[in-house]
Amino acid sequence: MVGKFFRNQRLESQCGDGLGRKRPEFFVVSDAEGGGITPNLGTAGSCGVANNGNNTLHVTSSFNPLGGASYDAGGLCGLFTCPMTNRRAESPVINCTGKSNMTLSFNYIHNGQGTLDNAILWFTNNGFSTWIAMPLIPKTSTGCGGQGLWTSFICPIPGGLNNSPNVQFAIQWVNNDDGIGTDPSFAIDDITISSASSNTLTTAFNTSSLCPCSNHLVTYNSSATFSAGNIFTAELSDASGNFSSPTIIGTLPSLNPNGTINCTIPCNVIPGNGYRVRVVSSNVAITGSDNGGNIVINSTTPTQMFLTQSPAGFICQNTMVTYLVSFSTPALPSISWKKNGALVASNTNSYSTNIVNGDEVICKVVYNGTCPNPSEDSIIAQYFNIPPPPNVGILANPSNVICAGDSIALSGTGASTYNWFGGVVNGQTFVPAATTTYSVIGVDANGCTNTSSTVVTVQANNGGGIIISSNPATVIAGNNTTYTAALTPSNLTSYQINWYRNNQYLSTTNAPVNSISFTPLGLQDSVYAWLTPNGCYTPDSFKSNTILVKSPEAVYDPNWPSSIRVFPNPGDQAFSIEGLEIGDRITFSDLSGRMIYDNKSANGSQIVIPLSAYSNGLYIISLFREDRRLQQKFIIQH
């Protein structure tokens, strides 16, 4: 029997043709087309019977609305009336959540004209925004006075509607106006939607004894096909296995019918031995079976660890620290020590190490026994702003390499106070007897210490000497001369030579330079040198021999007129000749006789001769007056 739950939906145009009226057929629910007699569908006893109390949904004519599945073939459109029809009757929304492999079955009568006047079956799950049209519903046998025979029909529901909460189906009736067609139209009764199988959801939990706060895996398996947004939820019963107020212990958003959920037992759960676990799904909504066995949740044992370190107070960098761990529970834990992330010790309650700035020491324990709380614990010792040890150094004055018999002072650096070994007093001089290593402990303002050592090397003293020679070997006043020192030992590579001229300091040369050059001016130009070798020598320096000027040639000719003055002599940039008479001729030549200047006095006063173009040495000035030639020696010394 069909109740009044279908609604008519007009699909055809509503306008007439101006000559007749549009009188389409329509769906109605009544027993004007009574349902057939089961189980004799398709037999003579299944003829359509009016007013038998069995309502059906059927298409009826506008001319005869109480005539059951009557049919108006038309043919008079434009002259009288037009029965052209395109309507559908929609079912209400049917919740098929959790259902799959569904079928739609019903009893029906169907005729009309072939595929022109026909009933079509539609399915949708979105309010007919889109739909799936099924193959044409077969025509049924006529007879029974034109009423037709009730026939059974089974149709699979499209798989895309499995598990949908919004399934609808509809019957569309289409009728043209060609005047051809035979009663009946269409009627439907005894509509059933069925599922070949029910969805299942089973739960597996392999742990029979567990602890509060512990983590576990719950496995589920299902035969259902799940839709978007589905969430699997693992639930824990009460201590008697009752799920009336379950505790959620884990969730998993997934469409996979088989999976594993990460779960956590609440820390405040009441101990008991009758707990169960199950899994439920949301889309499709399925309440799964429980794990099938009782679960024991044990009571917890409080645990606590304590860590001490020695020394307990202020420490400096590189201080050796010893850690000791103890516990409030007799259960022996597994112990591991890590320093800066690396495992350094296991299964021991103490650990010692040197600590520097930035170090991190972690002691981690895992408790044994039944349900320790917490099950594991750790304590971290981190070190920041630890003062570094003083950077202790040693300053040796004058040096940490000395000669035998020399004194030395050793002073500590980088700390506040210093404690020396070997009888040394900080900063005070002493004479080491031999090569020795000296050590000191420095203490800074924080009380942090560090050590330093140095080796003082005592070297034996050596002998030495210096002899100088000249080039040319005979030193002539006015000639440029090079003085060279020969040293003892001959392989000396580090030394200093101080040169003296006329007992006055002249210059210094350093290894490997061992010579000087200048032009001696007279017998007074004596030269000697002092050698100061670097290293251990006795005495510390050595004086050389003295070289004198060997050729004391006169600078002034005794016949040279006293009225004529040559100055300055020696000369540097220029020299002047004063007191000349008109007609006096002056020439200027080197010792080889090469004339480099020749001039005759025009006014008898003064001649100035520039010297910058001439090199150092002895030169001859000649004066030609009347029939006499007078000469005088002149020295250029730049």
The pLDDT confidence band at residue 583, using thresholds 50, 70 and 90, is confident
Q: Distance between CA 464 and CA 486 in Å, rounded?
A: 11
- Whether 301-382 and 565-636 share one fold: the answer is yes
pLDDT at 253: 96
**CATH architecture under which domain 199-297 falls:** Distorted Sandwich (2.70)
SS (H, E, C) 513-556: CCEEEECCCCCCCCEEEEEEECCCECCCCEECCCECCCECCCCC
157 close to 48: Cβ distance less than 8 angstroms = no
Q: Which carries the bigger pLDDT value, residue 17 or residue 319?
A: 319
For 563, which DSSP code?
Answer: T
- 498: tokens are 């101080």
Share above pLDDT 90 across residues of the chain, in percent, rounded to a whole number: 45
State the average pLDDT for the chain. Answer: 86
Distance CA 167, CA 542 (A): 123
User: What integer pLDDT is reported at residue 525 of this predicted model?
Assistant: 79
Taking residues 629-634, what's their average pLDDT? 85
Beta strands in 299-432 (DSSP E): 301-302, 305-310, 319-327, 334-339, 342-346, 350-355, 360-366, 372-373, 376-382, 393-397, 401-403, 408-413, 417-420, 429-430
Mean pLDDT of 431-446: 93
Q: Which option is the CATH number for 7-197: 3.30.2030.30, 2.60.120.200, 3.60.15.10, 2.40.30.10?
A: 2.60.120.200
Which range is least confidently modeled, 77-81, 392-396, 462-466? 77-81
The pLDDT of residue 563: 82
| CATH architecture classification, 565-636 | Sandwich (2.60)
Q: What is the DSSP letter of 240?
A: T
What one-character-per-residue DSSP string does 278-332 give? EEEEETTEEEEEE-SS-EEEPPPEE--EEEEEES-S---TTEEEEEEEEESSSSP
Distance in angstroms (rounded) separating the CA atoms of residues 503 and 505: 7
Interval 553-564 mean pLDDT: 68
| Distance from C-alpha of 455 to C-alpha of 58, rounded to nearest angstrom | 121
- Residue 409: pLDDT above 90? yes
Residue 16's pLDDT is what? 40
- Joined together, the tokens standing for residue 365 give 């324990």
Question: Domain 301-382 class?
Answer: mainly beta
Mean pLDDT calculated for residue range 173-200 = 84
Q: Can you give the pLDDT at residue 592?
A: 75
Torsion, CA 235, CA 238, CA 242, CA 243, rounded to 10: -30
Q: Provide CATH code, domain 465-543.
A: 2.60.40.10
pLDDT band at 553 (very low <50, low <70, confident <90, very high): very low
Going from N- to C-terminal start, the domains of the chain cover: 7-197, 199-297, 301-382, 393-454, 465-543, 565-636
Per-residue pLDDT of 225-259, as tens digits, reads 888 999 999 999 999 999 999 999 999 999 999 99
Scan for tokens 């004339």, then name that residue: 595
Mean pLDDT of 91-107: 86
Region 419-440 average pLDDT: 94
pLDDT tens-digit readout, 496-529: 999 999 889 999 999 999 999 988 876 667 899 9
